Amino acid sequence: MTIHESKRLWLACGVGLVWFLLLLWPLLGIKPEGLEFASTFKVFGYVAVAAVFVMFFYQVKEAGYLDIVGTPTKQASTALGKAYDKAPTWLLLGIVLAAAIAFPLVTGRYAHDVAISVLIYVCLGLGLNIVIGLAGLLDLGYIAFYGVGAYTYAILSINYGLSFWLCLPIAAFIAAIAGCIIGYPTLRMRGDYLAIVTLGFGEIVRLILNNWMSLTNGPNGILSIPRPELFGYTFRSLSSMYYIILGLAVLTILAVYRLNYSRIGRAWEAIREDETAAELMGVNTFLLKLLAYAMGATFAGFAGAFFAARMKFVGPESFTFLESAMVLAMVILGGMGSIPGVILGVLALVALPELFREFQLYRMLVFGGAMTLMMLVRPAGIWPAKRVGRRSEEAE
Amino acid sequence: MTDKTPILELKNVVSAYGRIQALKGISLKVFEGEVVSIIGANGAGKSTTLMTICNIVKAVSGDILYKGERINSVNSDILPTMGLCQVPEGRRIFPRLTVLENLDMGAFFRRDTAGIKDDVERVFDLFPKLRERRKQLGGTLSGGEQQMLAMARALMSRPKVLLLDEPSMGLAPLLVKQIFDIVKMINEQGVTVVLVEQNANLALQAATRGYVLETGNVVMEDEAKALLANPDIRKAYLGE
3-state secondary structure chain A: CCHHHHHHHHHHHHHHHHHHHHHHHHHHHEECCEECCHHHHHHHHHHHHHHHHHHHHHHHHHHCCCHHHHHHHHHHHHHHHHHHHHCCHHHHHHHHHHHHHHHHHHCCHHHHHHHHHHHHHHHHHHHHHHHHHHCCCCCCCCHHHHHHHHHHHHHHHHHHCCCHHHHHHHHHHHHHHHHHHHHHHHCCCCHHHHHHHHHHHHHHHHHHHHHCHHHHCHHHCECCCCCCEECCEECCCHHHHHHHHHHHHHHHHHHHHHHHCCHHHHHHHHHHHCHHHHHHCCCCHHHHHHHHHHHHHHHHHHHHHHHHHHHCCECHHHHCHHHHHHHHHHHHHHCCCCHHHHHHHHHHHHHHHHHCHHHHHHHHHHHHHHHHHHHHHCCCCCCCCCCCCHHHHHHC
Please answer yes or no on whether A392 and B117 come within 8 Å at the CB atom.
no
Kindly state whether residue B58 falls inside one of the protein's structural domains.
no
pLDDT at B88 over 80: yes
Q: Which domain holds residue B186?
A: 34-46+75-237
> Pick the residue with more confidence: A207 or A33?
A207
Determine phi and psi for A390, rounding to 5 degrees. -65, -45
CATH of the domain at B216: 3.40.50.300
Percent of residues, chain A, with pLDDT higher than 70: 97
Kindly state whether residue B10 falls inside one of the protein's structural domains.
no
pLDDT at B1 over 60: no
Please answer yes or no on whether B88 and A269 come within 8 Å at the CB atom.
no
pLDDT at A20: 86
Residues 6+ apart with CB under 8 A from A392: B98, B100, B101, B104, B134
Please answer yes or no on whether B120 and A395 come within 8 Å at the CB atom.
yes
Q: Nearest by CB to A277, which of B78, B92, B117? A: B92
pLDDT band at A155 (very low <50, low <70, confident <90, very high): very high
Please answer yes or no on whether B88 and A280 come within 8 Å at the CB atom.
yes
pLDDT band at A1 (very low <50, low <70, confident <90, very high): low
Kindly state whether residue B12 falls inside one of the protein's structural domains.
no
pLDDT (tens digit, 9 = 90+) per residue, B145-161?
999 999 999 999 999 99
pLDDT at A385: 72
pLDDT at B191: 93
Alpha-carbon torsion angle B136, B141, B145, B149, nearest 10: 50
Beta bridge partners of B221: B211
pLDDT at A85 over 80: no
Distances (CA, A) of A188 to A64, A129, A131, B59: 58, 21, 15, 19
Residues 6+ apart with CB under 8 A from A43: A24, A28
pLDDT (tens digit, 9 = 90+) per residue, A322-353?
889 989 988 988 888 888 889 998 998 888 88
Beta bridge partners of A30: A35
**Positions of E strands within B78-216:** 84-87, 161-165, 192-197, 209-214
Question: What residue of B is the nearest CA neighbor of A285?
Answer: B77
Interface with B, mutate which of A280, A291, A390, A393 (most B CBs under 10 A): A280
Over residues B234-239, the mean pLDDT reads 80
d(CA B183, CA A330): 47
pLDDT at B235: 85
pLDDT at A389: 41
Determine phi and psi for B124, rounding to 5 degrees. -65, -35
pLDDT at A394: 40
pLDDT at A44: 86
pLDDT at A388: 44
CA A73, chain centre distance (Å): 31
Q: Is B185 helix (H, G, I), strand (E, B) or coil?
A: helix
pLDDT (tens digit, 9 = 90+) per residue, A8-59?
888 888 898 898 888 888 877 777 787 878 888 888 888 889 888 888 888 8
Question: What residue of A is the nearest CA neighbor of B158?
Answer: A281
Task: Looking at the complex, report in whole angstroms how far the Cα of residue B139 sits from the nearest Cα belonging to chain A.
Answer: 10
pLDDT (tens digit, 9 = 90+) per residue, B9-56?
999 999 998 888 899 999 999 999 999 999 988 888 899 999 999 999
pLDDT at A179 over 80: yes
pLDDT at A84: 73
Residues 6+ apart with CB under 8 A from B198: B39, B40, B41, B42, B166, B168, B169
Q: Nearest by CB to B80, which of A263, A276, A282? A: A282
DSSP percent split of chain B into helix, strand, coil, nearest 5: 40, 30, 35
d(CA A315, CA A147): 9
Please answer yes or no on whether A392 and B76 come within 8 Å at the CB atom.
no
Shortest CA distance to A222 belongs to which of A309, A141, A103?
A309
Please answer yes or no on whether B117 and A263 come within 8 Å at the CB atom.
no
Please answer yes or no on whether B77 and A282 come within 8 Å at the CB atom.
yes
CATH class of A95-395: mainly alpha
Question: Burial, A63: exposed, middle or buried (Cβ in 10 Å; 0-12, 13-18, 19+)?
Answer: exposed
pLDDT at A64 over 60: yes
pLDDT at A240 over 60: yes
d(CA B237, CA B26): 20
Please answer yes or no on whether B97 and A276 come within 8 Å at the CB atom.
no
Lowest mean pLDDT among A96-100, A373-377, A387-391, B199-203: A387-391
pLDDT at A104 over 70: yes
Over residues A164-190, the mean pLDDT reads 89
Please answer yes or no on whether A391 and B92 come within 8 Å at the CB atom.
no
Which residues from B are below 8 Å from A387, CB to CB?
A: 96-98, 101, 137
pLDDT (tens digit, 9 = 90+) per residue, A257-294?
898 888 899 999 999 999 889 999 999 998 999 999 99
pLDDT at B97 over 60: yes
pLDDT at A392 over 50: no
pLDDT at B130: 92
Kindly state whether residue B67 falls inside one of the protein's structural domains.
no
Which residues from A are below 8 Å from B58, CB to CB?
A: none
Residues B89 and B151: beta-carbon distance below 8 Å: no
Please answer yes or no on whether A283 and B105 come within 8 Å at the CB atom.
yes
Question: What residue of B is the nearest CA neighbor of A281?
Answer: B106
Question: What residue of B is the nearest CA neighbor of A133?
Answer: B96
Angle at A45 between CA A39 and CA A51, to 5 degrees: 140
- The separation between the first and the last C-alpha atoms of chain B, rounded to the nearest angstrom, is 32
Question: What residue of A is the nearest CA neighbor of B97?
Answer: A387
Q: What's the structural domain count of chain B?
A: 1
pLDDT at A396 over 50: no
Which residues from B are below 8 Å from A262, CB to CB?
A: none
pLDDT at A386 over 70: no
Say which DSSP state B98 is in: B
Over residues A239-251, the mean pLDDT reads 90
pLDDT (tens digit, 9 = 90+) per residue, B200-232?
888 898 899 999 999 999 999 999 999 988 888
Question: What residue of A is the nearest CA neighbor of B106?
Answer: A281
d(CA A117, CA A125): 12
pLDDT band at B236 (very low <50, low <70, confident <90, very high): confident
pLDDT at B96: 87
Kindly state whether residue B152 falls inside one of the protein's structural domains.
yes
Over residues B79-96, the mean pLDDT reads 91
Residues A364 and A322: beta-carbon distance below 8 Å: no
